Amino acid sequence: MGKIIAACGNDCAALILRCIDEGLYPSWDAMNMNSVHLAEKLGYEFDHEYTVYEMEKE
């Protein structure tokens, strides 16, 4: 738990640990390289790339 808190703070750690406690896999969607580096620091491994479409509000 200490590794997770040190890397991303209490709220992030609480979410990840709650998922694990509930038997869920806390997947990670990295939108930028900072998020990629944080995910790698937490032990996540790259699975696959996919296309994302972003919509703007009018």
Q: Would the pTM count as exceeding 0.75?
A: no
Instruction: Note the pLDDT of residue 5.
Output: 56
Instruction: Note the pLDDT of residue 21.
Output: 92
CA atoms lying within 13 Å on the CB side of residue 33:
0
pLDDT tens by residue, 13-39: 788 888 889 999 888 888 888 888 888
**What rounded mean pLDDT belongs to the chain?**
81
Give me the residue label for tokens 């694990």.
20
